[in-house]
Amino acid sequence: MGLIVQKYGGSSVADIEKIKFVARKVVETKRKGNKVVVVVSAMGKTTDNLINLAKQINPTPPERELDLLLSTGEMVSVALLCIAIETLGEEAEGFPGYFAGIKTDSFHTKARIQRIEPGRIIEELNRDKIVVVAGFQGLSPENLITTLGRGGSDLTAIAIAAAIKADICEIYTDVEGVFTSDPNKIPEAKLIPSISYDELLELASTGAKVMQSRAVEFAKKYSVSFVVKSTFKEGEGTMVKELEVKEGAVVSAVSIDENQAKITIFGVPDKPGIAGKIFSSLGKENINVDMIVQNTGKDNRADLSFTVNINDMEKALKITEKVAEEIGAEKVNGDADICKLSIIGVGMMNHPGVAGRMFTALAEAGINIEMISTSEIKISCVIRKKDGEKALKKVHQEFIEKRG
C-alpha cells in the first residue's frame, strides 16, 4: 500500500480509447491498495492548437488571457479521465490547478510554483477517491490562472509528489524511458535503468528532451525520485534520482543537437571589454549562447565563435553585426550546417582520458571538430551537420556498445 503520483502526458490521453486505457491503469493501481493522484496533460496537440487560435487574433496574445485559454486543455483531460474512471466503478475527484492548491507567482505563461497546499488532495484521498489534477497550471497571488511553461505538467506531478510525500512518482509518456541515445537513430541504444538528475538535465540541454527541465530541477532540489516509463508498453522504465558516482557508467548517454547554429566574428580587436560587449548585447535580447571559442589571431585581432539555437540565428546575427561594426571587427558569419554531439555521464568525474577517447573516435571516423566545451559531466563537440549521424554511431559504439 503506497501513495502514488502518476502523470500522463498529452500523447497518453490523445483520444478517447487512450483515456479509457489510462483509466484502467489508474483503477488497477488503486485496487492494488494504493492511494493515487493522477496528473494529466492536455489531449495530444491541444495546447499548440489553442495557441494557434489565439495567434489568429493577435500574433502576440496578452499572456494573462493566453493562460486562461491554455488551462482549458488540461481541464478537458481531467473531466474525461474522471468520467472514464467512474465508469469503471471507482470514485474520482477532478481538480483544476487552483483547487489542487498550486500557488504560483504572477509570471504568466512561465509561472513558478511558490508553494503547494495539498489539503484538498489529501482530504479526497482519505475519502478513498482517485484524485485527478490538471497539470501545467496554478493560481497567482492575484487569483488568476497561470501556466508553468511548456511541458509544465511534469512540474505539477513532481511538485505534488514532493508536497504529499508520495512514495513514488511515475511519469508516463510515449517512450519507454531514457535511452543511451536516440533509438530512432541508433538501433543499438539501450534503456538506462537509472540516471541522476544532473545527467538528465544535461541531456535536455544537449537536444534529448525527455522531460521539462524545470521539473527535473525541482525534483533535484526536493529529492523527489521518479520513474519515466511508457504508458502503453510494459517495462521498468528509467529511475531518476541522486546517484552515487560509482553507480554510473563512465558515459551514460550520447546525444546530438541538430538545432544549433554557429556565429563567427572575424578580426575582433583583442582588448578588454569586447567579449563583454558582444555577449551582454545578446543577453539583453534573451538569446542563449551555448559554446564560445576564441582564437587569438595575428595583429592583435582574434576570431570569436559561439553557438545559439537555430531559431535565434537571424536575430543573433543582426545583433552581432551591429556590435561588430561598433567595435571595428572585420566581418560576421552565420553557419547553420553544424550540430552538437555530446557525451554525458557522472562517471566522467573520476575517469581521466574520456575527452581523448571521444576525440580519437571522431578522428578515426574522419570527422573534424570545430568547437569543444566541457563540464564536469559533459563533453560537447561542434561538427558538420552532415557528419552528425556517423559521429553519433561512432561515439555510441566507443562508449556504450564496447562496454558490452
Q: Which does 73 bind (CB under 5 to 8 A by kind): Mg ion, ligand ASP, none?
A: ligand ASP
Size of residue set near ligand ASP by CB under 6 A: 13
Task: Identify which of residues 125 and 148 has a Cβ nearer to Mg ion in the complex.
Answer: 148
Under rule CB under 6 A, residue 345 binds ligand ASP: no
Under rule CB under 6 A, residue 135 binds ligand ASP: yes
Task: Identify which of residues 135 and 347 has a Cβ nearer to ligand ASP in the complex.
Answer: 135
Under rule CB under 6 A, residue 267 binds ligand ASP: no
Instruction: Identify which of 171, 135, 107, 130 has the alpha carbon closest to the alpha carbon of residue 43.
Output: 135
CA dist 302 and 246 (Å) reads 42
Task: Identify which of residues 151 and 248 has a Cβ nearer to Mg ion in the complex.
Answer: 151
Task: Identify which of residues 78 and 343 has a Cβ nearer to ligand ASP in the complex.
Answer: 78
CB of 277 to Mg ion, least distance (A): 39
Q: Is 17 helix (H, G, I), strand (E, B) or coil?
A: helix
Q: Write the Ramachandran bin of 341: left for phi over 0, alpha for psi from -120 to 50, otherwise beta.
A: beta
CA dist 187 and 179 (Å) reads 11
CB of 22 to ligand ASP, least distance (A): 14
Cell (9 digits) for 204: 535536455
Task: Identify which of residues 232 and 266 has a Cβ nearer to Mg ion in the complex.
Answer: 232
Under rule CB under 6 A, residue 110 binds ligand ASP: no
CB of 111 to ligand ASP, least distance (A): 13
Under rule CB under 6 A, residue 241 binds ligand ASP: no
357: β partners = none
CB of 136 to ligand ASP, least distance (A): 4
Binding stretches for Mg ion (CB under 5 A): 10, 41
CA dist 342 and 362 (Å) reads 12
Under rule CB under 6 A, residue 12 binds ligand ASP: no
DSSP per position, 367-386:
----EEEEETTEEEEEEEGG
Task: Identify which of residues 160 and 381 has a Cβ nearer to ligand ASP in the complex.
Answer: 160
Within 44-83, the residues that bind ligand ASP by CB under 6 A are 47, 73
Under rule CB under 6 A, residue 136 binds ligand ASP: yes
CB of 159 to ligand ASP, least distance (A): 13
CA dist 229 and 180 (Å) reads 15
Within 20-49, the residues that bind ligand ASP by CB under 6 A are 41-42, 47
CB of 68 to Mg ion, least distance (A): 18
- The count of residues in the chain is 404
Per DSSP bridges, beta strands 130-134 and 35-40 are parallel
Among 10, 44, 237, 345, binds ligand ASP (CB under 6 A): 10
Residue 370: CB atoms within 10 Å? 16
Q: Which does 138 bind (CB under 5 to 8 A by kind): ligand ASP, Mg ion, none?
A: none
Under rule CB under 6 A, residue 100 binds ligand ASP: no
Span between the terminal Cα atoms of the chain, in Å: 38
CB of 31 to ligand ASP, least distance (A): 27
CA dist 15 and 18 (Å) reads 5
List of long-range contacts for 306-311, beta carbons under 8 Å, 24+ apart: 306/262, 306/263, 306/279, 307/260, 307/261, 307/262, 307/263, 307/338, 307/340, 307/371, 307/382, 308/260, 308/261, 308/263, 308/282, 309/259, 309/260, 309/261, 310/259, 310/260, 310/261, 310/336, 311/259
CA dist 154 and 211 (Å) reads 7
Q: What is the per-residue binding string for ligand ASP in 145-174, x denoting contact by CB under 6 A?
A: -----xxxxx--------------------
Task: Identify which of residues 169 and 291 has a Cβ nearer to ligand ASP in the complex.
Answer: 169
Cell (9 digits) for 66: 493566453
CB of 77 to ligand ASP, least distance (A): 9
Q: For residue 276, which amino acid is it?
A: G
In the complex, residue closest to Mg ion by CB? 10
> Binding residues for ligand ASP, per CB under 6 A?
9-10, 41-42, 47, 73, 135-136, 150-154
